[in-house]
Homo-oligomer: A and B are copies of this chain.
Amino acid sequence: MGNSLGKKFVIASFGESHGKCIGIVIDGCPAGLPITEKDIQIELDKRKPLQIIWSTTRTEADKVDILSGFFNGYTTGAPICLAVWNNDIDAGDYKKTKGLLRPGHADHTAFIKYGGYNDYRGGGRFSGRITAGYVMAGAVAQKLLKLIGVTVLAHTVEISGIKTDAGIVKISAEAIDNNPLKCTDPPAAEKMLSVIEQARKAGDSLGGIIEGIALNVPAGLGEPVFDTMEGDLAKALFAIPAVRGVEFGAGFTAAKMKGSENNDSFSIKRGKIVTVTNNSGGILGGISNGRPIIVRVAVKPTPSISRKQKTVNIDKMESAGLEIKGRHDVCIVPRAVPVVSAMMAITLCDYALQAKIIPEVIK
C-alpha cells in the first residue's frame, strides 16, 4: 500500500533494487505531449553515480523503456508505464550480510512490517534506486510544466555544515548541472568536496541540505485546509529516502523572527500585487501567491558506511558487528538533487492539472 501519489497526475511506483526493474506508472498525463526517451534519459542521467571516487561504482545503465501510453511520438492520455531494467545485479554481497540490520536503514522496520518476506537485496523497495522511477515521472512533469512557463530547479546549499553563500549563488539549470555537487557556489563546492574526501577516507558519510525552487508558479494553487501546497510538497519530498526535514521560505528561521520582520508586505508592481520579500516561500494560507516557491530539505548522511557498527542479527537474535562493504555513496546529496526537483515537479504538475492550467489535451 501507499505506492501511489497524486490526484490528477498520479504516479504509481513498483520495482526493487535487485529485482527485474524499477518502474513507474503515470496516470493522468494529458494526451498530445511530444516526448522522447531522450527527454526522460537526460533527467535519469542526472541521478547517476558520480564519476568521482566517493560515489558508488555500481554501473547503473538505467536506460528508460516506455512501455505504454505513447504512440506516434506523443502521449495518448493513457497510463504511461516507464521502466529501467536492472542489469548489474550482484546480490552476493547482500546474502552474506542477510539478517544483519544495517543501522540507519529500513531493514528492521521492513522486516517487522513484511514479516521477513521483503526483498532485502540492496534494500529492496527502500533503496535509493526506487527514486529512478520518481525521476522518470518528474521528467514528464517538467515537460508539462514547461508548457505553462514553470521552471523547477534544485541545488545543493549545504553539505556537512558547509553552506553556500546566497550572495554568490547564481541559480540556473546549467550552473547546477555543470557542478558535480549540484552546487552553484564554486568555492563552497570545493570545500564540500574536500570534506567528502575526508569522510570517505574515514569510512564515514555526510548529509546536507537541498533547496528546491519553482519559478513562475501561478498564484491560486493549493487546496486548504488540508491539501495545502506545503503539505503536499512535504509529503512528496518525505518519499525521498534520507529526508528528515522540510521547510518553506524562512522555515525554522521564521520561528526566531518577529512578525514585523517575517511578514511580507505587499506592493503593486506593473499592475500586479506582489510581496516585497518572500519569507513565505511563495505560499500563504497553503496557496501559491505567484512568487518563487522555496523549499529546503534536510538530507541525513548515507547510512551505509564502511566503519564498523554495532547491530543485531535478526535471524539469530544476537548482537553483531557490521562492516558494509558494497558500493555506496559517501554523500547522497548531489544525487538526491534531481529527485527533489522531480518530486516538486510531480506535485506542481498535479496541481496545475487539477486547476486545468495545463489542459487534458495538448494542442
- B-contacting residues of A (Cβ < 8 Å)? 1-5, 7-8, 10, 12-16, 19-21, 23, 25, 27-28, 31-32, 67-71, 74-81, 83, 101, 103-106, 108-110, 112-115, 117-119, 124-126, 130, 158, 160-161, 199, 204-209, 219-220, 222-228, 230-232, 234-239, 241, 243-268, 271, 273, 275-276, 280-281, 283-289, 298-305, 307, 309-312, 314, 317-319, 354-356, 360-361, 363
Measured CB to CB, the closest approach of chain B to A137, in angstroms, equals 12
Q: Can you name the residue of chain B whose Cβ is closest to the Cβ of A26?
A: B14
Closest to A314 in B: B273
Contact: B244 with A245, CB < 8 Å? Answer: no
Q: Beyond A14-B27, A21-B67: 17 further Cβ-contacts under 8 Å? A: A12-B79, A14-B68, A21-B68, A76-B114, A106-B224, A109-B284, A125-B224, A160-B255, A207-B257, A235-B235, A245-B254, A254-B300, A257-B300, A259-B303, A267-B310, A268-B312, A273-B317
Q: How far is the CA of A106 from the CA of B43 in the complex (A)?
A: 35
In-complex Cβ contact of A245 among B125, B228, B247 (8 A): B247
* Smallest CB separation, A350 vs chain B (Å): 11
A109-B318 CB under 8 A given contacts A103-B263, A125-B78, A226-B5: no
Q: A206 to chain B: closest CB distance in Å?
A: 6
Closest approach, in angstroms, between the C-beta of A164 and any C-beta of chain B?
Answer: 13
A285 touching B231, Cβ below 8 Å: no
Q: Which residue of B lies closest to A237 (CB)?
A: B231
What 3 pairs between A and B have smallest CB-CB spacing?
A: A106-B285, A2-B223, A2-B227
